[in-house]
């Protein structure tokens, strides 16, 4: 099975991160709401120089200017550091520890375009969303983050890019869903944070399953499989899909877990739990209570 994989682990300084027709070009027209709407169209691989692979790969990105605008509303401090003379500047975002219980993240740029640095949109928004326990995402008709009275509007994003965006949130979502595993109580004898491998593409036919969810909802399959990438300490695997007609969803995995569960204790690191999986609705689910998005197997 040929797959495209990305493994996520804890970032320096803290924790982050059915097909539809292509959407129209992203615009900067805000949506009217009762609160504040920030229009931050994602860089989706358009207008990229041929030699900038990280840009043309199409992983959703935000410019430093956009991140500064978001920081003015969400409140984290921004600091740029240079780890070495030959490295790129690292973007550091930090909240007061008393606000969200985490210190911050440090991210190198994904690429530079016309003098502007671009960073992972999933990592940035996944971190900012943690400042609001009631925050949630929607993906249809526009990809948006709703946090208290703030709506971050990322535009009408094509289905494949929506899946890439949520794949980039894999570590952040797994960490929130299984806090005892990813954020063990201190002090602890073994505090290694497990990694999460996100499968975004497979040469094998995708696995399909039926849910009771409405078309347009985004789901993430989370599997405990420590044998998959044992050498990386990445025992968790994720795959993301968009629900289509009849509640059917296609996921880029060769086969579904033999045992789908809704009891999260059956996903904790334990030899007896190997191969277990859960299906999580990641849109219209409060990020501070992801267990409300667990989808029963059918």
Residues 243-261, mean pLDDT to the nearest whole number: 94
pLDDT category, 227, cuts 50, 70, 90?
A: confident
Report pLDDT digits (tens) over 52-96.
888 887 789 999 999 999 999 999 999 999 877 777 789 999 987
Q: How many other C-beta atoms can be found within 10 angstroms of the C-beta atom of residue 270?
A: 12
228 vs 154, residue with greater confidence: 154
Predicted local confidence at residue 55, as pLDDT: 85
Predicted local confidence at residue 17, as pLDDT: 35
Q: How far apart are CA 285 and CA 282, in angstroms?
A: 6
Q: Where are the domains of the chain?
A: 12-157, 170-293
Say what percent of the chain tops pLDDT 90: 58
DSSP string, 81-113: E-SSTTSPPEEEEE--HHHHS--EEEE--SEEE
Report pLDDT digits (tens) over 233-251.
789 999 999 999 999 999 9
Q: Is the peptide bond before 38 cis (omega within 30 degrees of 0)?
A: no
């Amino acid at each position: 099975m040929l797959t495209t994989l990305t493994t996520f682990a804890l970032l320096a300084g803290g924790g982050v991160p059915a097909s539809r027709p292509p959407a129209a070009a992203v615009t900067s027209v805000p949506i009217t709401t009762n609160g504040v709407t920030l229009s931050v169209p994602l860089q989706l691989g358009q207008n990229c120089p041929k030699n900038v692979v990280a840009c043309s790969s199409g992983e959703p990105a935000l410019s430093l200017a956009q991140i500064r605008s978001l920081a003015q509303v969400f409140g984290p401090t921004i600091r740029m550091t240079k780890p070495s003379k030959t490295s790129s500047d690292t973007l550091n975002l930090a909240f007061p520890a008393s606000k969200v219980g985490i210190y911050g993240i440090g991210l190198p740029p994904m690429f530079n375009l016309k003098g502007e640095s671009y960073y992972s949109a999933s990592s940035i928004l996944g971190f900012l969303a943690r400042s609001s326990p009631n925050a949630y995402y929607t993906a249809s008709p526009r990809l948006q983050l709703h946090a208290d009275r703030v709506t971050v509007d990322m535009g009408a994003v094509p289905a494949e890019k929506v899946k890439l965006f949520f794949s980039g949130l894999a570590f952040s979502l797994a960490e929130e869903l299984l806090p005892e595993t990813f954020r063990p109580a201190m002090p602890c004898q073994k505090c290694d944070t497990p990694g999460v491998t996100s499968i975004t593409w497979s040469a094998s036919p995708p696995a399909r399953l039926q849910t009771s969810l409405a078309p347009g909802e985004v789901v993430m399959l989370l599997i405990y499989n420590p044998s998959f990438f044992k050498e990386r300490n990445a025992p968790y695997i994720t795959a993301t899909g968009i629900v289509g007609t009849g509640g059917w969803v296609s996921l880029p995995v060769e086969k579904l877990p033999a045992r789908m569960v809704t009891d999260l204790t059956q996903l904790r690191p334990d030899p007896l739990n190997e191969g277990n999986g859960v299906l999580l609705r990641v849109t219209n689910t409060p990020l501070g209570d992801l267990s409300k998005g667990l989808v029963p197997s059918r």
